[in-house]
Amino acid sequence: MDSIEQRVKKIVAEQLGVNESEIKIESSFVDDLGADSLDTVELVMALEEEFECEIPDEEAEKITTVQQAVNYINAHLKKA
């Protein structure tokens, strides 16, 4: 099974319509990958679906890079 990082990158690529090879762990969705505010909301929705979790709005707002998404998922999945 793919690592969490790979799964996150795959979703980011699908949602934002960018090539997976362009996505680095430190990439910012808005600044580096051209996401708008609605894209970031959708991205969180897609992450919630992939990892079967619910990300509260105040947490979702803090997820602005691939690394932050991976960190959140790691922290959250351990609890499950």
**Residues designated as active site:** 36
* Stretch in the footprint of another protein (CB under 8 A) among 22-30, 38-46, 55-63, 64-72: 38-46
CA atoms of 40 and 14, how far apart (whole Å)? 12
User: Which one of 42, 53, 59, 68 is in contact with another protein (CB under 8 A)?
Assistant: 42
Query: At residue 10, what is the residue type?
Result: K
For residue 50, state whether it binds another protein (rule: CB under 8 A). Answer: no
Kindly determine how many residues on this chain lie close enough to bind another protein according to the rule CB under 8 A. 5
CA atoms of 31 and 60, how far apart (whole Å)? 17
Q: Retrieve residue 53's tokens.
A: 């979790």
Which residues make up the interface to another protein (CB under 8 A)? Answer: 36, 38, 41-42, 45
